[in-house]
Amino acid sequence: MTRSLFVLLILSSVFFLCIPACSHRAVNPATEAGTIISKANLAATQTVSFAKITQTSKPSTTMATKQPEPMTIWPCDCLPDGYLSALEIKEPFVTTAVEAGSTYEIIPTGKDEAGNGYIRSHWVYLLTAPFPTLQDSVNFTQLKNTWLKNSWTTDIVNTLLVSQSTFEVFSRLWGTPDPEVVKILPSSELLQTAWEETNVWAIIPFEELDPRWKIIRVNNISPLDSNFDLAGYPLTVQFDLVKTEAGDAELSQHQLASLVVPATNFVPEKLTSLIMTGTTALVRYVALKMEKNGVLYPARDIVDILKDADITHISNEVSFWKDCPSANPVRLEQRFCSDPSYFKLLEYIDADVIELTGNHILDWGSEPFLATLQMYQDNDLPYFGGGRNIAEAAQPLTLQDGSQSITFIGCSPAGPEEVWAGVDSPGSNPCTDGWMETQVNNALKAGSIPVVTFQHFEVEDYTPHSSQRIDFLDAAEMGAAIVSGSQSHFAQTMTFVGDSFVHYGLGNLFFDQMYGENPHEFVDRHYFYNGKYISTELITLMLEDASKPRLMKTSEREAFLQTIFERCNWETAFAVETE
């Protein structure tokens, strides 16, 4: 009995203790403090709860890490097409067309600005005029004043043509130009527009240079000079990649490696200069002066010009011969030869290639000519346009200079026939039917630049005769980059066939003709860049002392060029479509 009561008592106690815990009545935490869960307890409860979830479930997508803002680059609307075509922007950068809000930008900066640029490019611009322009140089102050129309003078230029990007570049650097002076045109229209109007020049990036432009020197500097100083040239523009105010991070080398930015548009190592000259004949008065003053005397005033070129061409019309009669300027017969000691003159001027199309090479027979060929070979002096037989005479000469391959193709339509090479006899190369076109095509197929020379029929006139004009223009239309007349003792006119340059006659170089217009001489300095003909500079000389050419004075040069340009026919300059 007692045992049963004890069990009953225990069960009753348990029942009454469980009543509060099992109640389903709602509890208002605002009124019943005993049921409030503190923030500390709530936090602890949540932590535990999320800890259990993370152990048994995948992370919620709503908790992903926020991605960083993209690094945007704004390429200035002033960047030239050549720059933009080489520019590559990759992740983590993106390009934006809007300047505002960009984190980085590519813009032109002044040369005196140290800048905070990460990457710097140097872009070369040119001041250009139509090829038949007399003026050679302006100073930078004149150019900038012309742009702004300060201290204005129409003696310099009436109008400056620019593309839209060039306008933006120099507006940033020099200030907003006068709209009456500076005109904006598409790049493709600048050249022909300048040629069609009067006293119109242009500013262009170097990569848009065409042979029909003349480069106007600025502060007497041209980028084509062999001693060109990129930093000292007033038209070198710096383009810098810089951080804007919106940019909040410095760039690492790893990030910068995602950008491909062109360093420059002009690499001097890709440039080749070629000097073409007229008649050389070291005879008569020239020989007499050499005997009196030394064999180097004729080149004394121009040696630096001739040596400065990468390739110097000499058309030597006379053979060297050990038994050559002594110098005599009044010899009755027109039979020419030169003493072998005169070869030192060719070495002095650093001649690189000899043309043998001249009609006096066999004046004393085959023996002197063959001995002369051997002299050239012994001195590693290549030649073309003549040889030991017709096979050698008709063989073009290809020279390689850096990235340039240049093929010289020469022949003599004038003869006379007895000076032409035969199957087994030496002489010059006649212009046989179809030969010229074949050689020009072969050069082009091989990726070489054809330079054609003619020993044509002579005429004492500035303008060529009809057959000369036809042959020269035909060679240009075949694809020759340059067609040059070696026969003329009288400096002649020139033209373009598309972007091929044709000069009918350069006049003498070293020959003694002092009468009439014969003392006036041309030396043509042609430029090639990265496998393409790009420009020609006309060097004008005056023969003195019947033997020694010198540079013309400014007044002499302007009068001479004016006479030549007035007689030139430029109609073919834009008549041929060029690539």
**Placement of tokens 């005479």 in the chain:** 393
Q: Is the pLDDT of residue 16 over 50?
A: no
pLDDT (tens digit, 9 = 90+) per residue, 395-445? Answer: 999 999 998 999 999 999 999 999 999 999 999 999 999 999 999 999 999
Residue 201: name the closest of 126, 282, 103, 313 by CA: 126
**Placement of tokens 């409030």 in the chain:** 36
User: Is 46 inside a domain boundary?
Assistant: no
The residue type found at 44 is A
Q: Tell me how crowded residue 18 is: count the other CB atoms within 10 A of its CB.
A: 10
pLDDT (tens digit, 9 = 90+) per residue, 257-307? Answer: 889 999 999 999 999 999 999 999 999 999 999 999 999 999 999 999 999
Q: What is the pLDDT of residue 211?
A: 98
4-20: average pLDDT: 40
Residue that is last in its domain, among 231, 266, 301: 266
Q: What is the DSSP letter of 171?
A: H
Whether 376 and 242 map to the same domain: the answer is no
Query: In angstroms, rounded to a whole number, what is the distance separating the alpha carbons of residues 138 and 133?
Result: 13
With beta carbons less than 8 A apart as the criterion, state whether 455 and 409 touch.
no
Whether 228 and 296 map to the same domain: the answer is no
Whether 309 and 232 map to the same domain: the answer is no
Q: What is the pLDDT of residue 84?
A: 95
Whether 137 and 241 map to the same domain: the answer is yes
User: Is 54 inside a domain boundary?
Assistant: no
User: Is 494 inside a domain boundary?
Assistant: yes
pLDDT (tens digit, 9 = 90+) per residue, 74-117? Answer: 999 999 999 999 999 998 899 999 988 899 999 998 766 555 67
Q: How many residues does the chain have?
A: 579
Q: Tell me how crowded residue 180 is: count the other CB atoms within 10 A of its CB.
A: 10
Query: Residue 58 — pLDDT band, cuts 50, 70, 90?
Result: very low
Residue that is last in its domain, among 224, 248, 266: 266
Residue 259: name the closest of 272, 242, 271, 238 by CA: 242
Bigger pLDDT: 110 vs 251? 251
Q: What is the pLDDT of residue 53?
A: 28
**Placement of tokens 């409860």 in the chain:** 45
Whether 280 and 237 map to the same domain: the answer is no
Q: What is the DSSP letter of 60?
A: P
E runs forming strands in 456-519: 482-485, 494-497, 500-503, 508-510
pLDDT (tens digit, 9 = 90+) per residue, 469-494? Answer: 999 999 999 999 999 999 999 999 99
Cβ contacts of residue 399 below 8 Å, gap of 6+?
311, 352, 353, 382, 405, 406, 407, 408
User: Is 509 inside a domain boundary?
Assistant: yes
Q: Are strands 279-280 and 271-276 parallel, antiparallel or unpaired?
A: unpaired
Q: What is the pLDDT of residue 3?
A: 41
Q: What's the domain count of the chain?
A: 2
Q: What is the 3-state secondary structure (H, E, C) of 259-301?
A: EECCCECCCHHHEEEEEECCEECCCHHHHHHHHHHCCCHHHCC
Q: What is the pLDDT of residue 576?
A: 53
> What CATH code is carried by the domain that includes residue 363?
3.60.21.10
Q: What is the pLDDT of residue 157?
A: 86
pTM of the model: 0.87
User: Is 51 inside a domain boundary?
Assistant: no
Alpha carbon dihedral 458, 462, 468, 474, in 10-degree steps, equals 150
Query: Residue 40 — pLDDT band, cuts 50, 70, 90?
Result: very low
User: Is 5 inside a domain boundary?
Assistant: no
> What CATH code is carried by the domain that includes residue 107?
3.40.190.10
Whether 442 and 461 map to the same domain: the answer is yes
Residue 491: name the closest of 454, 536, 445, 541 by CA: 541
Residue that is last in its domain, among 216, 239, 266: 266
Whether 279 and 292 map to the same domain: the answer is yes
User: Is 551 inside a domain boundary?
Assistant: yes
Whether 282 and 244 map to the same domain: the answer is no
pLDDT (tens digit, 9 = 90+) per residue, 202-212? Answer: 999 999 999 99
Range(s) of the domain holding residue 499: 269-574
Q: Are strands 279-280 and 508-510 parallel, antiparallel or unpaired?
A: parallel
Whether 262 and 276 map to the same domain: the answer is no
Query: In angstroms, rounded to a whole number, what is the distance separating the alpha carbons of residues 95 and 102?
Result: 9
Q: What is the pLDDT of residue 379?
A: 98
Residue 396: name the closest of 454, 352, 440 by CA: 440
User: Is 53 inside a domain boundary?
Assistant: no
Whether 250 and 293 map to the same domain: the answer is no
Whether 247 and 275 map to the same domain: the answer is no
Whether 158 and 84 map to the same domain: the answer is yes
Alpha helices, H only, 297-351: 303-308, 343-348
Cβ contacts of residue 573 below 8 Å, gap of 6+?
195, 212, 495, 496, 497, 498
Task: Write the CA distances from 61 to 57, 68, 182, integer angstroms.
Answer: 12, 18, 59
Cα angle, residue 467 at apex, residues 463 and 471 outer, rounded to 5°: 100
